Amino acid sequence: MWLRLVYWWGSAATGSYIPYIALYFKQIGLSGLQIGVLTSIPPIGPALLAPTWGVIADSLSAHRLALRIAALAAAGSALLLSQTTSFGPILLLVAMLALFTAPISPLIDSYGVSISERLRMAYGSFRFWGAFGYMAASWLVGRWMGQNVSERFLFAYAGGFLLLFFSSLGLPRLKPRPHKAVRHAFGTILRQPPVLLVLLTSYLVSSATGVMYNYLGIYLNQLGGSTQLIGTAFALNALSELPILAGSAWFFRRLGPQKMIAMAICFYIVRFVGYSFLPSAEWVLPLQLLHGLTYAVYVMGSVTLIHQLAGKELATTAQALLSSMWVGFGMMTGSFLGGVMLDRVGAPHVVDLFRAATCVMALALVVYLVGLRSFARAREEPAG
């Protein structure tokens, strides 16, 4: 129950923030380059700090303490962000958010994988509640703000982190990992070529999705969509995850994590092609229903595969490395380059960002399939 609440409120905080932040920055008068800088800063935390947080948590068995400190500090930073509209202070506060939100996702996922194994439950059954929280928050916050985006979404963002803190009070203490294994964590994990393939693929996929998460609101607004429509669009994202997560055991049984990753990227390409040719803002709604077959399937596949490759002793460190690519470097690349492109092409041509992202997603598929084939041949050669 407590883990489900943690997933709910952690995802609810994200659902209150991501759909609206770039549009909010645009509305208060910031340029495309400034928006690109600000939206690329939050991923810096997971990119640079999440692996370190993971090693410390694994070594000291301080998972609960790290999660609680991060949640409280993130809530305070979000409240301060709601009180300023100047680029300098916003830059500082967004950097603080990057620091404090860095460990949250990998810590929660480490709990999810560990407890699902302990109880012999499907990992997706816990993420199911996160999708529900994201859906409820993105839709309700959009309705709360009305036609135009306001600082109210930042109050909801802070509230989500506070409720995450209280929910974490019921989590169990995870067993400490051997210190020797943790000291050599990065080398042990990164010496495995399949791990590097998963990390590289996640970087490319995340670079493309960084455009979607940060600039879809601006794109829909340019097509005449309201804040309520944007909130509904992101709520449909989470709604589409629910049947996928509920049936996660079927996906793992029939496909396995490797094929799940390939399938998710294929559906991502279809989804991004659709974004590239929207005739009006309302047409985005059916495309959002592909989110479950893209994001949910990819996350379940990559989180499970990296866990299998790294082993239980380095579970949190492995999830942190994945987070550094997925939530960190990849999202940072897509956010920053998207902002630079936005200044170059102008708001009327923001669709060009999604066409470029489609090409990156196609590259991710090629890299992943070629890598899998290379590893399969390498395994067969000694036997031959």
Query: Model confidence over 13-69: pLDDT tens digits?
Result: 888 888 888 889 988 888 888 888 888 787 776 667 666 666 666 666 667 787 888
Provide the residue ranges of all domains of the chain, joining segments of one domain with +. 2-171+178-383
Of 12 and 120, more confident: 12
What does the pLDDT read at residue 106?
72
Report the C-alpha gap between 286 and 84 in whole angstroms. Answer: 36
Q: Indicate the range of 321-335, 339-353, 356-370 predicted with least confidence.
A: 339-353
Report the C-alpha gap between 71 and 191 in whole angstroms. Answer: 33
Going by the DSSP 8-state scheme, the letter that residue 280 receives in this structure is S
Report the C-alpha gap between 46 and 63 in whole angstroms. Answer: 16
Report the C-alpha gap between 104 and 66 in whole angstroms. Answer: 8
Going by the DSSP 8-state scheme, the letter that residue 349 receives in this structure is G
Could you read off the pLDDT of 270-301 as tens digits, one per residue?
Answer: 999 999 998 888 999 999 999 989 998 998 89
What does the pLDDT read at residue 248?
77
Cβ 319 vs Cβ 106: under 8 Å: yes
Of 103 and 346, more confident: 103
Model confidence at 179, in pLDDT bands (50, 70, 90)?
very low
What does the pLDDT read at residue 87?
92
Q: Indicate the range of 164-178, 226-240, 329-343 predicted with least confidence.
A: 164-178
Report which of 59, 355, 87, 15 is spatially closest to residue 183, judged by C-alpha positions: 59
pLDDT of residue 362 exceeding 70, the answer is yes
Mean pLDDT of 333-340: 84
What does the pLDDT read at residue 175?
64
Cβ 258 vs Cβ 310: under 8 Å: no
Could you read off the pLDDT of 194-219 as tens digits, one per residue?
Answer: 888 888 999 999 999 988 888 888 88
pTM of the model: 0.71
What is the total residue count of the chain?
384
Of 170 and 160, more confident: 160
What does the pLDDT read at residue 156?
93
Cβ 79 vs Cβ 70: under 8 Å: no
pLDDT of residue 342 exceeding 90, the answer is no
What does the pLDDT read at residue 307?
76
Of 159 and 246, more confident: 159
Of 75 and 194, more confident: 75
Cβ 45 vs Cβ 328: under 8 Å: yes
User: What is the rounded average pLDDT for all residues in the chain?
Assistant: 81
Mean pLDDT of 346-351: 71
2-171+178-383 topology per CATH: Growth Hormone; Chain: A; (1.20.1250)
